[in-house]
Structure 1
């Protein structure tokens, strides 16, 4: 350990290099035996006769930093190391007393200051290595977002993505090397953007406009948001099911017999901290679930191909806070869940057939909870007039273990 304090200082550095650093950051760099960071960050520094400069390996690997444990070391990171930066990755490998951080203004803060936007009103997304579809839940006319992307090609791909969804009228403000001597800011409509010389690093401010569809915020979005083969919890049933599942921040759902993935996807859409695992035995449907999750911006949905209860619990995944059974309902499955899940876990199961309804009725008698019969009818044509066309009734059992 370095005498009298942590051995690692995590320094946030901007495109203006040392000119924008605090006195404490400059002292740490000058006193360091090792300075590690991206090659472009290291290039911003003046000669350091007492320090060895180490560039991060590609692909990224934290081991070169851990190898210097106990020696005076500075790690350089862009802006605020704990906002879409490597700070949390490093801190997760070290004890609390081993490191200290000296953040600089984040790229998001600099971008908002150039645009005059209220930062707290703008979704801020780091899309360097993440799919652009993570923007999908935020796309709505009149809204704004700030995104970080990998390079100039990614900006062009972003413009095409927005145009393809009907948001081509959105204004994109492309901010290159913001905060440094190479800073350049240009603006164009998404469907007209044709810059071919966009320099890294780059941030984009999106002022959304157009006639594209906005993803509803309420549970029970329209069925046509999902690609499916008919195996889908229909919109009204889905809304009631999600209400019974009652997602809370930080929780994990198991969606068993996921079909199109609609329940797990809407669970994830309700809050960014939620997690979900979808179980589907049909390979084609499993691929469709992944595609639906990607298209709607929740690529964090984990899809496991296999029959339940044989594949429960999935290795390497946390136990659930809630479980939905939409397919594959059986006494063996309910028995396995009752045996393996922790007290307090919420289970919601939907049944359509008389056999599965009888099963839920028996478990309700033995375990309690709520048994709900859902009868729905929709108006439709009958010759020249209209009448009610009834759907199959759904029996829903919800219980907390």
Structure 2
């Protein structure tokens, strides 16, 4: 570990040096290397420091930055580097004693101040390097959100996406170069957003309105939001399964026998810190899972086309495992031998053979067996009766 930080992550606003406190100015003056995107570098004064443009993609800049180790270096970032910024990436890749941070005023704070919106009840999204579909789970009439976008053209793309999802009455508050001499704010309709020209950097405040479908926040999302060939854990059973999986912040799920991907996708919807890998042996279903995840804003789902346990060996170990298909004694033996003892496991079975296997393993490892029997009212001649679904046996255990 180094005695003193050689690296400073400095939050810079659109007003450049005018908005910097004295301590941040001194750091810039002492720097031997200043690294950042071209727009930020243009806001800094001419000094003896070497100016280095951060390349695209962002990850390519980390080896360059590592090469400056030990020399006074400043990395320029927008506003608060730890709110959808470069700060967290640098913190993950360098030791704690190597770097320090001097955050500036975040774009979200400036936008909320312009709009008069309370940040504690306003959703915030960093979509400058993420797809617009990340919005989908949260789109509902009355929602307010502030978005960071890639560039001016992304405003029209946002308007198109909101129209396609049924929220065409949404009002967009487009704010350009907040905090600087070029600052400009406009409130526009989606039609006006499609026609207008907007300059980078840009953020948008959304007041969502329209007839689009809002997703419930509870587990057990409607079956209709998933593209499926019929191989799907139906909504009531899915709700019970998510309850048994009991996601906690930061956990990783293995969804074995993904089918439609509904379990792992709903898992990810529970919290942005959750991660998941789904394993599906059929190529067409693996592709369908990918489409569902992308459409529903869960593009971070890792989809593996393969069989279990054969495809499990090289994967990041899970905190929780769900088996929705492909249950076998071979799979259970592998999981029992390979996974840490604290791993939680939930398995659903429909066939008699799978039920028998779960009963054997429950007798061996303990845990809870639950039999789920559901029936729906349906037509029975001129009247109605109950139509039963196949019962599902669910085993929950901590290995």
Short-chain TM bin? over 0.9
Displacement of 1:93 after TM fit? 2.6
Task: State whether residues 153 and 197 of structure 2, in contact with CA within 8 Å, keep that contact through their aligned partners in structure 1.
Answer: no
SS of residue paired to 2:214: coil
The question of 1:141 aligning with 2:133 is answered no
The question of 1:383 aligning with 2:381 is answered yes
Listed as ranges, the gaps of 5+ residues in structure 1 are none
| Equivalent residue, structure 2, for 1:217 | 217
| Equivalent residue, structure 2, for 1:251 | 251
Task: State whether residues 160 and 194 of structure 2, in contact with CA within 8 Å, keep that contact through their aligned partners in structure 1.
Answer: no
Task: State whether residues 31 and 74 of structure 2, in contact with CA within 8 Å, keep that contact through their aligned partners in structure 1.
Answer: yes
Partner deviation per Cα, 1:232-276 (whole Å, 9 max, x = no partner) = 001111111111111111111111101000111111111111111
| Equivalent residue, structure 1, for 2:292 | 292
Aligned length in residues: 397
| Equivalent residue, structure 2, for 1:301 | 301
Structure 1: distance between partners of 2:116 and 2:165: 27
| Equivalent residue, structure 1, for 2:36 | 37
Task: State whether residues 258 and 324 of structure 2, in contact with CA within 8 Å, keep that contact through their aligned partners in structure 1.
Answer: yes
Task: State whether residues 169 and 191 of structure 1, in contact with CA within 8 Å, keep that contact through their aligned partners in structure 2.
Answer: no
Structure 2: distance between partners of 1:79 and 1:262: 37
| Equivalent residue, structure 2, for 1:18 | 17
The question of 1:397 aligning with 2:395 is answered yes
Deviating beyond 3 angstroms after TM superposition, the runs of 4 or more aligned structure 1 residues are none
Structure 1: distance between partners of 2:321 and 2:76: 43
| Equivalent residue, structure 2, for 1:161 | 161
Question: 1:340 aligned to 338, 341, 350, which one?
Answer: 338
Question: 2:53 aligned to 38, 52, 55, which one?
Answer: 55
Structure 1 residues 14 and 250, CA gap change in structure 2 (3 angstroms): same
| Equivalent residue, structure 1, for 2:276 | 276
RMSD: 1.5
Partner deviation per Cα, 1:147-197 (whole Å, 9 max, x = no partner) = 111112111011110111111101101111111011111111224423432
| Equivalent residue, structure 2, for 1:363 | 361
Structure 1 residues 58 and 297, CA gap change in structure 2 (3 angstroms): closer
The question of 1:75 aligning with 2:75 is answered yes
Structure 2: distance between partners of 1:332 and 1:260: 24
| Equivalent residue, structure 2, for 1:189 | 189
The question of 1:152 aligning with 2:117 is answered no
TM-score (norm 1): 0.96
| Equivalent residue, structure 1, for 2:171 | 171
Structure 2: distance between partners of 1:102 and 1:376: 57
User: Which deviates further from its counterpart, 334-343 or 363-372?
Assistant: 363-372
Structure 1: distance between partners of 2:76 and 2:243: 46
Displacement of 1:361 after TM fit? 1.4
Question: 1:373 aligned to 367, 371, 394, which one?
Answer: 371
SS of residue paired to 2:194: coil
SS of residue paired to 1:193: helix
Structure 2: distance between partners of 1:93 and 1:12: 19
Structure 2: distance between partners of 1:232 and 1:74: 51
Task: State whether residues 167 and 190 of structure 1, in contact with CA within 8 Å, keep that contact through their aligned partners in structure 2.
Answer: no
Structure 1 residues 231 and 396, CA gap change in structure 2 (3 angstroms): same
TM-score (norm 2): 0.96
Partner deviation per Cα, 1:60-114 (whole Å, 9 max, x = no partner) = 3223322221112222111111111112222223222222211110111111111
| Equivalent residue, structure 1, for 2:88 | 88
Partner deviation per Cα, 1:339-368 (whole Å, 9 max, x = no partner) = 111112111111111111111111122221
The question of 1:265 aligning with 2:297 is answered no
Structure 2: distance between partners of 1:211 and 1:244: 33
Partner deviation per Cα, 1:29-61 (whole Å, 9 max, x = no partner) = 11222211111111112221x222222123332
| Equivalent residue, structure 1, for 2:5 | 6
Structure 1: distance between partners of 2:358 and 2:148: 49
Structure 1: distance between partners of 2:195 and 2:176: 12
User: Which deviates further from its counterpart, 261-270 or 31-40?
Assistant: 31-40
